[in-house]
Structure 1
Amino acid sequence: MRFHIVTLFPEFFREALSCGLMGKAVESGLVEFSFINPRDFAVDRHRTVDDRPYGGGPGMVMMLGPLRDALSGIERPGPMVLLTPGGEPLSQAMAARLAEGPDVTLICGRYEGIDARLAELFPLVPVSVGDFVLNGGEAAALCLVEAVARLVPGFMGKDESAHEESFSSGLLEYPQYTRPEVFEGLAVPDMLLSGNHARIAAWRREKGLEATLARRPELLPEAGLSARDVEFLRGKKGPGLGRNLYVALVHGPVLDRHGKIGTVSLTNLDVHDIARVSRSYGLGGYFVVTPLDDQRALAEKLTGHWTRGPGRAANPDRAEALALVRIRRGLDEAVEDIAGERGMRPFVVVTSARTEGAGEFTGFARLREQLATRPVLLVLGTGSGLAPEVMCRADGFLPPIRPFDAYNHLSVRSAAAILVDRLLADVY
């Protein structure tokens, strides 16, 4: 396999590519490298490859001319990969796809980046090795080279080595041990000494599942889990972040379709379905908020039927969900309830079908950070959205479910399920 590396610093790679298995692969001809320096294609005596950015701003931008000529001179470039923080994340699956071809070209940017028109001249594949910024693409290119080259048949010596490591099965790798059997009081697990290869394989699978659940749970949905795997994980899953999340469904003050402030009646389906969502995701509680006495009495009668009356025996699962419901006159009461039981005021985040009155939106990642350290109250509105007096008291805002779509009229119970899943997503 041939790697064509376009870089201003070819010397960056020399030592790294001569070490270990990579060095042996180069010596045997299994892997080849060519380095193309854009400076060799500069047209002035200073070998200039960068210039100031149009529109102003700090730093310099790599020029098109030297890069175009550098890339045009590669006879068989294969996929042209541009290493950039804004690219598609490098994954094991991507590395496997690149390893299938005889050639790949890696373009290492420097300075503030590359003139964007290069992507209009060549079929570039933007790739990122992580959500961080490097001085240039060279270090990222080394990561990609190792990930791809080791999948070339013959590189690893025993090809099965590459198939038993992290991500090859969609999971993180199980822990490995070697001699001595006991080191400073720390022993190798008995299972690995048993000689029972079927049980060892099962133990390794379980350890991989545990490691992935603990450190990279977002990988699990795509890991091809079996029914046995799911059952194993169910027994390992802790309470998660859900215990810190509370939901409040506000029936007043809310807006009607004409923008007037008022109160709407609660519905049986909203109470039931959001309670079931709350129980399914292990939430701390679900507040039904209405200032109307008759509506609170109705809610008490409805929940009482399932938690204390005939419904409890008829459907214990429904009773378990409805037990999470708390009926309150106003949002302040819900906030006080949470502060009293958790010892701190919750972070109040609101979402509404309307964006009027919302400040800068809080992303789901930032809200998960809040959930990791404190209770969060997710406030949902009925009618045509929350009134301004509720919106202005929020600590954060989530955008509507479909913020860029003209039609944004999901039921509140559908919105609640989607938002909770985006925040907690079961194993995750």
Structure 2
Amino acid sequence: MGTFKIEGGHRLKGEIHPQGAKNEALQILCTVLLTSEKVTINNIPDILDVNKLITLLGNLGVKMQKNGPGSITFQADEVNVGYLETEAFKKEGGSLRGSIMIVGPLLARFGKGYIPKPGGDKIGRRRLDTHFEGFINLGAKFRYNREDHFYGVEIEGRLQGAYMLLDEASVTGTANIVMASVLAEGTTTIYNAACEPYLQQLCGMLNSMGAKITGVGSNLLHIEGVESLGGCTHRILPDMIEIGSWIGLAAMTRSEITIKNVSWDNLGVIPSVFRKLGITIERRGDDIYIPEHKDGYEIKKDIDGSILTIADAPWPGFTPDLLSIVLVVATQAKGEVLIHQKMFESRLFFVDKLIDMGAKIILCDPHRAIVIGHNFQSQLKATTMSSPDIRAGISLLIAALAAKGTSTIQNIEQIDRGYERIDERLRAIGANVVRM
């Protein structure tokens, strides 16, 4: 188990180049299974979760050629579908939640798709019903082995287009159903579809491969099935969650940082939410400039004077992956804020570690926490802690960089799952972070 030692209290300065988006990469990589032609993907982040999926694709027989940093050409012309029923796959697929998205492409092209109960962050229940109900609507037969928690869908012949109203606007569920639908016979309509930028990227990529998807960017998608798809070249967007993490880091450490090439038009409400915390965010071309907050930052109140509430919601609402960052940034703000995590019931449980560091936080219930900011009048103190999930892990790392003294964070593999060479990149702008 890896460990970070962090000496806090240093002002940072410099430029940060965000990595490719983890959540987009996990979807985009699965599309290579839909065609026998070559697919080149650029700006792939070098992180544990993405590398696990690439390894899984290789074990399925997908050929790969590395073109340079973050660029790989894939060709799935000799897929070994039999690998899906091996014990090796059950172990490998179960270690990565993103592996669920290979099921749609495999079902569409080969008539079968299997997956063990996938892993991922321990942030509460993360149901898979939306995925499999979508496949069933397309004509697949579902089976579940309770003994080893192994899911499967199969069909004889070709999937059939259908109308479906999703029970939740699941991003991965929508992506999986879209990938299955593009090779189905007839027209598929998906209502209450997720419409995140990464889902829009997926649909754009599929259309460039020959798919016929309309309504992209809305919650109502129409997909006219085609016989086959061709190859393409695709570039992954910068990671909006990492961009939000760097904004929070700059504010908490009162540092001057420029975040390069952020794809502003795909950030949605993220900049405005951080501005509500009092953080100055300047747009310079396609960059974000965060000045040194020498006098701190003050949380805005609602128009009627009531306490600000920041809650997560499906796109174009605020992403739940950044609520942990917002919470930790608020601990040094002037004012109070209510953080409402609606989507996962275990994601706020890391606040006990921040309380140990001296933060003023009231955990109202599993979904809500009130943060009373210190306004930098009282510095967080260093401590030893363990990273419970990716986003809590980076939040604790930000807290440690702002704290007085030397902190230790254990189980940093959780952070490595979502952040590329985070210690090296932090040291490049002046942080004192050592990987043990």
TM-score (norm 1): 0.29
Higher gyration radius (CA): 1
Relative to total residues, which structure has the larger helix share, 1 or 2? Answer: 1
TM-score (norm 2): 0.29
